[in-house]
Structure formats: structure tokens, C-alpha cells
Structure 1
Amino acid sequence: MDQRRPAVVVLAAGRGQRFRGEGHKLEQLVGGETVLAHTLRQTMASGLRYLVVTSTALAPLVRRHVAERDMLVLPTQDRLGRPAPVGMGHSIAAGVAATGDAQGWLIVPADMPLLQTSTLLAVARALEHDPIAYAQYDGQRGHPVGFSAELFSELTALQGDEGARKLLARFPAQAVDVNDPGVLVDVDTVEDLARVVSVHPAVPVPASARHRLRPSESV
């Protein structure tokens, strides 16, 4: 893996509170494999360096797929015994800080099993010319969202659940049009999971059963 290319930060630390099914959303099966496994397979196939940011509760699941060196387990408490910060912003900041020698970062939520490897590479290439690049399908912004190395300080200062949306408002961002509806699809609810199962290539269903999927929330 080329250390000079962007690193992929896979966000797998969320509690998944909107998912009302049994177990965590990342543990759910799609075509015989977990949601997390599908997302990680596409990430690994890109050949890009990657880091999975996860929680203590989800660390055993992540360890089934990646080496210890490729994961960052966020602490539950700080040095004073107080609850540690949580939220997408904190996860992004921690992942970027841990891969600070990378030439940029692609932010990928771990609950996007339909995302294609070609999309990751397309956004990575766009970062060679723009400070921010994001995948776009059918005119809608999706994931991954990529950030160049010059935004390291801004990314590592993120906090809470806001994620990196404010950076897209402050810096020029390049849309990368891709033929990949998976950039818009995450698994937040039981209904989302049912839709993903109905269209995933690993689950053969008639074309007539495939229907439009709910767009994911942006970073």
C-alpha cells in the first residue's frame, strides 16, 4: 500500500441507536456476510491504506476482518475517568490523527455495504487536484468524502456528531460523478437493511423487486 496516497478512515464506532433489530446494524447479514464485512471488502480491494475506528463494544467484530494495526479502538473514558467524547466528529478526528502521514483521507461510514471500490479510487484521484472531493450519484452527494492533507488541522479538531459538514461549506469541494448508487445508501434502520438485502449482488432477486434506496446522511 502506498503511504503517499489517501488513507481510508472507516467509521465503525457508532452505537446505531436507530436500528431497532436484534444486535448492532454492522452485525446484520447481507448475502451471508455482515454489513461491516461488505464495506471492508470494498475498502481493502482499493489497495489504499485503511484504518477502522471502532468502539470497545464493536472491536471483536472488527477483529474478525482486520489486523490489530489497522484498527483504532476509542477509549470509553479519558485519563481522569470521565466519559470519553463520542460522535462522528470525534471518530474522524481520531482516525485522521492516527494516520497523520497520509496524503489525505477518505471518510467511509462502515454501514455502506453497496459502496463500490471504483468509487473509492475515483474520489482518491480527485484529491490530487482539490482540497475536498465527494462521490456524487444522480446529482446527490454521498460517500466517500475525501479531504487533502492540507486540512489535517481542521479534521483533527472535529468534535461531536456534526462530522465534517462544516468543512464542505468552508473549502472548495469537487463532486465526482460515479455510476454507483451505493454512495447514497447506509443501513440505519431495519427497513434500510431490508432494502439493501433486496438489491445486493450476493442476494439474487428479480430486477422488478429492486427499488430506490433512501440516501444516506453526509459526513
Structure 2
Amino acid sequence: MARGGQGLARVAVVVRAGAAPLWWLGVCAAGVGLIIPGLTGRRIGVYAGAALFLVAAAVVAAARRRRYRALARGAARAGRYDVLQDRAVTARTWRRGHRWWLLLGFLAALGANAAVPVAGGLLLAGCGAGLRLKAAWLGRLERAQEELLWVRVDWLARGGRPAGRTVKAYRGTGIAAGDAAPGGARRRTAVPGAAHRRTAALV
């Protein structure tokens, strides 16, 4: 980056990036399970899957919240030459980097239908739902602080987790920065002048 600036990705967008793929892959795998009797039968599989869905959603949504809060409290103001990455670019980069894990998870959920139909797919979908809930929680945190949270792109490249060991600190910007609303969703109304290479100092 020019003059010492860093590429920054929205924390909530990174968290949210895996929600849709996990949800839809899980739903597809569960749908296949509905037509396969399996060893336990569909009824037991559906009940087991519903329990796994709820547990997975709760665990994923609650995981590492203390770490997120600590990083959010210590967030420094983004610099003048820091570059804010587009929401679509952040999501696409995450999904490309995790495509093989997503594929393996889907194949595992499909294979589980032979033993406990539907359960594996609902477990996968529960993980996706948990990520969506965590992104929503981050959105509430951002609104409370009136500050959007960003993480350096090069730190994400080392592990892909926005609250992992490679992430030392977050950066903060005004609530109107970038093209994603608090929580990582697409903004319903465009922010005048927002663009891919807009620097944090302008927002």
C-alpha cells in the first residue's frame, strides 16, 4: 500500500462470508437425506439433525466473543492511507480460500446420510446460521460503539480468522465507511462517494 497504508477488510463481512455457503450446502445435503432411509431411519435422523442444528448454531454464534470484544475495545483509528476493501471482494476472497473445506464438509454431510439421514446436513446448516447470528451480534456491537471494525488483510491471509492469533488489533472507522452496513450486510442505500479505494481518512 502507498505511504505505509494497509488493506482493511470488515470483520463482520469476514464472519458472514461463510454463512450462506454453509447454510445452502447443509440444506442440500439434508434434502438428499430425506430420500435416503439410512441406518436409523428418517424420523430419528430429523430429530437428531434438529438438535445438532440448534447446538451448532449456539456454539458458533457464541464462540470467541470475549476475544472480539477485547479487539473491538482496543481498535485504533484507521490511517489516512489505509484502503477499505469492498464487501464483495472480502466475501469472495474468504470463500475462495475455504472452498475445499466447504466441499469436504458437504461431502461429509452427504456421506452421513447413509447412517443418520438429514443430521449431517442440518449440522452444516447450523454452523451457517451461527455465523449469521455472530455477524448480527457484531453489528450490534458496532452500532453501540458507533464505529465499524476492520482487520488487516495480510493478517487474514495467514489464517483466515478475524479473531485468530495472527490478528493483533482491529482498526476503526466511522459508521458510514465502506459499502457494508453494521453486521456486514449490504447497505440498502449507497453512501455518497463510497468506493473501493476510498481511504479511511475520508470517512
TM-score (norm 1): 0.25
Greater fraction of residues in strand: 1
Q: Which has the larger radius of gyration?
A: 2
TM-score (norm 2): 0.27
- The higher relative CO (CA closer than 8 Å, separation ≥ 6) is in 2
Greater fraction of residues in helix: 2
